[in-house]
Amino acid sequence: MTATLELQGVSMSFGGLKAVDNLSFAVNENEIVSIIGPNGSGKTTTFNVISGLYEPDSGEILLKGESVAGLRPDQVHDKGISRTFQSLRLFSNMSVLENVLVGMHAVTDAGVLSSMLRLPSVRREEKAMREKAQEILGMFPGRFSGPRQQQPAYSLSYANRRRLEIARALASDPTLLMLDEPVAGMNPMESREVMEQIKVLRDRGHTILMIEHDMHVVEGVSDRVIAMDHGVKIAEGSYHDVANDPQVVEAYLGKRAAEATA
Amino acid sequence: MSLDHIVTVTVGGLTVGMIYALIALGYTMVYGVLKFINFAHGEVFTIGGYTAAFTLLALGVNDAMSPIVMAGCILLALLAAVIAPMTVGFLIERIAYRPLRGRSRIIPLLSAIGVSIVMQQLIILVFGPTPVSMPALALGSASFSLGGIRIRVLAVVIIVVSALLMIGLTYLVRSTRIGKAMRATSQDMEAAEMMGIDTNKTIAFTFIVGSALAGIGGLLVVMYYGSLKYDAGFLYGLKAFTSAVLGGIGNIPGAVVGALVLGMTETYGVSLDLGFLAWFVLAGLVLGLYIQMVRVPGRRLQHIAEDRRTPEYEKSVKNVYRLAPYFAVKTLLAERTDALLSVSAEHAVRLMCGNAFLAASAAAMFVFGDVRIDTRWQPVIAFVVLMVILMFRPSGILGEAITEKV
Ligand SMILES: Nc1ncnc2c1ncn2[C@@H]1O[C@H](COP(=O)(O)OP(=O)(O)O)[C@@H](O)[C@H]1O
Ligand SMILES: [Mg+2]
């Protein structure tokens, strides 16, 4: 079986800095894989390369066996990779509902003229989109109910903005969902809630690649964990194997501390 | 000065304002997505006017034609005045702007000025250096009478057509799929791309729509005034750009409001006696004083941090605005003041200068009550209005469409 996502020797540097260095890993269908690693270890850059924001210097990125390296971000999205952002990037002047609808842009095709004339086909599509958006927003019970959906995204609380990013990314029914630190800045109760929602997503058949610092969440949802440091993959395996890997401990705590705990 | 005259002038002002609005929308939409001013947009307007006039000339339109044939000819001219500018606008973006996207801001700006110069020469090359003239049609000078006041049919056509186009544009941007893509692109281009929006297509579409509106503006102008010069786009473009800034650059309803304000002041300014206009300035002064004395200080007070809020402190903030000459200057000259007070003082001085200017203008205008300003001064009036309004509202009447940063 081909993996949903496979990276083969992907490298990406900025000037002299190798942000991602010869990185290879795979994510299988209906699996949740977490990437951990200290700040600046190249996790977000890995996402950006997969999303098509940067073209990798070398290496291959395969989605279900098909290369997506070098495609434009919107083309990568069309192929089935959707994501959220570490630093929230909602369309903050647009309403909650509109944000989700923008996420569906690629899977709809109302043309300009038919939209302006409000042809029946367009109305049908709009209705279907709205219903689907409602359904996705409904995955976060009580968070985006009724009038909230018409509010601009900037008026939402921080945690709700994070939730809305996930909803927007889900709108296109992606083959692979990438979450960049989905619980960053949330309190423990909110993190737990998001963790449960990620589990629900797996039960619904989604395949997820996630960057996360919160070890409870990583432990709670991951089928597999990948640890990075200085752009290099330093460990891969089950949560417990990776968390106890001496190289990982060293990356997080520094060499001396790692020796002291050993 | 009769009521008839005032109504006639008002219709004239609205007509000019609507034309400015049609062009201003292109400036403001492009600014919305790319954060840069497409200086070649004025020439796109000229091309619309030229192709319309040349189409009508080529078709040999004349009053002997049956109304249906004539309507068909005008429709063809309209089509030409939409397609040619659309194509030009699309090509300009593709050739002169897209390759430079992502460079420092000054570079696309220079390119835009260059394109504007090149376009003017191309217009001369293609259409010749003499102004193009419309075939003389009865429609051009037709008018009807409303309660004894004569109103040109074309003025009404311009106002109605422009208003319909603006309603259509609003619907396009608010409710359609491509409109959502435009708004998403203007707020965060990279995020929009990663959400599956082809931003290149969206930007090209923005240019096409803006150019079509400017082209229709060109058609309406050449029909209304009967002729158009190859460099007409410069002044119209400048006025439209001013309108866009006046209303808040990047803000679509703002462009329309700014254009109407500009069109009205310009037309009123050179058509009515100063003594009459002085009342408007006086009304502006009342509004300006309200802003300085009530509105702005009220808002400032909300910015005071809870732990510093004392009645004395609130009073000193209010005083800076209300007794501006004394307290504001005193605050500015003082060795050490806190940030809120000194920012407020600078702001207050700016507002006060604006109000003083309005008061002085009103007084002077009452003194020279029966004078009328020469038409040549129209651009000066536009400039003065822009400066005064921006003094009170630096981000334009309706505010810039800046993304709320949170
Ligand atoms: N666009 C960029 N230009 C230059 N350097 C970058 C850019 N993006 C990331 N980097 C650098 O690449 C390294 C990895 O960053 P990042 O992938 O954001 O780390 P992480 O997400 O693991 O915290 C950092 O040193 C960062 O400064
Ligand atoms: Mg990161």
Q: How far is the CA of A36 from the centre of ligand 2 (A)?
A: 10
B38 and B164 inside one domain: yes
Helix axes A96-103, B177-187, angle to 10 degrees: 100
**CA dihedral sign, ordered A214, A219, A223, A225:** positive
B133 and B222 inside one domain: yes
Q: How far is the CA of A94 from the centre of ligand 2 (A)?
A: 25
Q: Which domain holds residue B125?
A: 3-272
Residues B160/A67, Cβ–Cβ less than 8 Å: no
Query: Of B253, B272, B291, which one is at a domain's C-terminal end?
Result: B272
Q: Identify the residue whose C-alpha is closest to ligand 1 atom 12.
A: A19
Secondary-structure percent of chain B, ordered helix, strand, coil, rounded to 5: 75, 5, 20
**Residue A172, C-beta contacts closer than 8 angstroms, at least 6 positions apart:** A77, A80, A82, A103, A104, A105, A106, A107, B195, B196
Cα A242 off chain centre by = 21
Question: Number of folded domains in chain B?
Answer: 2
At B370 the pLDDT is 87
Whether A210 has a pLDDT exceeding 60, the answer reads yes
CATH of the domain at B114: 1.10.3470
Closest-CA distance of chain B to residue A55, Å: 14
Structural domain contains residue B254 = yes
Q: How far is the CA of B267 from the centre of ligand 2 (A)?
A: 57
CA–CA gap between residue B71 and residue B184 (Å, rounded): 40
Which SS3 state, helix, strand or coil, does residue A13 take? strand
Structural domain contains residue B398 = no
Structural domain contains residue B186 = yes
pTM of the entire structure?
0.91
**pLDDT tens-digit readout, A216-244:** 999 999 999 999 999 999 999 999 999 99
φ, ψ for residue B149, nearest 5 deg: -100, 130
Kind of pairing between the strands at A232-237 and A224-229: antiparallel
User: Which residue, B235, B233, B211, B220, is CA-closest to B84?
Assistant: B211
A-B contacts (CB, under 8 Å):
100
B216 and B339 inside one domain: no
Q: What does DSSP assign to residue A86? A: S
Q: Identify the residue whose C-alpha is closest to ligand 1 atom 5.
A: A14
Q: Identify the residue whose C-alpha is closest to ligand 1 atom 25.
A: A40
**pLDDT tens-digit readout, A134-150:** 999 998 888 898 888 99
B8 and B121 inside one domain: yes
Structural domain contains residue B400 = no
Which SS3 state, helix, strand or coil, does residue B51 take? helix
B321 and B181 inside one domain: no
**pLDDT tens-digit readout, B253-287:** 999 999 999 999 999 988 888 888 999 999 999 99
CA–CA gap between residue B122 and residue B108 (Å, rounded): 20
B264 and B320 inside one domain: no
Structural domain contains residue B47 = yes
Task: Give the other-Cβ count within 10 Å of B186's Cβ.
Answer: 26
Structural domain contains residue B267 = yes
Q: What mean pLDDT is reported for chain A?
A: 92
B348 and B237 inside one domain: no
φ, ψ for residue B131, nearest 5 deg: -60, 145
Domains and their CATH numbers in chain A: 1-80+174-262 (3.40.50.300), 93-173 (no CATH)
Q: Do B176 and A115 touch (CB under 8 A)?
A: yes
Near ion ligand 2, which residues have CB within 5 Å? Answer: A 43-44, 86
At A255 the pLDDT is 63
Q: Tell how many helices (H) and how many strands (E) occur in chain B.
A: 17, 4
B268 and B279 inside one domain: no
Interface confidence, given as ipTM, is: 0.92
**pLDDT tens-digit readout, B297-314:** 888 888 777 787 888 888
Q: How far is the CA of B209 from the centre of ligand 2 (A)?
A: 38
B181 and B295 inside one domain: no
Pocket perturbation via mutation, ligand 1, pick of A17, A46, A209, A234 by most ligand atoms within 8 A of CB: A17
Within 13 Å, how many C-alpha atoms sit on residue B288's CB side?
25
Whether B165 has a pLDDT exceeding 60, the answer reads yes
**pLDDT tens-digit readout, A40-64:** 999 999 999 999 999 999 999 999 9
- Residues of A in Cβ contact (< 8 Å) with B86: none
Two tokens at A227? 């640890």
Structural domain contains residue B397 = no
At A262 the pLDDT is 54
B146 and B196 inside one domain: yes
Whether B404 has a pLDDT exceeding 80, the answer reads no
**B333 pLDDT tier (thresholds 50, 70, 90):** confident
Whether A256 has a pLDDT exceeding 80, the answer reads no
B280 and B268 inside one domain: no
User: Which residue, B259, B283, B293, B287, is CA-closest to B365?
Assistant: B283
Whether B60 has a pLDDT exceeding 60, the answer reads yes
- Nearest CB among A52, A91, A112 relative to B183 is that of A91
DSSP code per residue over A102-171 = HHTGGG----HHHHHTT-HHHHHHHHHHHHHHHHHHTTSTTTS-GGGGGSBGGGS-HHHHHHHHHHHHHT
Q: What does DSSP assign to residue B303? A: T
Structural domain contains residue B386 = no
Pocket perturbation via mutation, ligand 1, pick of A14, A54, A180, A209 by most ligand atoms within 8 A of CB: A14
End-to-end CA distance of chain B: 53
**CA dihedral sign, ordered A46, A49, A51, A54:** positive
Ligand nearest to the CA of A226: 1
At B405 the pLDDT is 41
At B406 the pLDDT is 38
Which SS3 state, helix, strand or coil, does residue A92 take? coil
B164 and B304 inside one domain: no
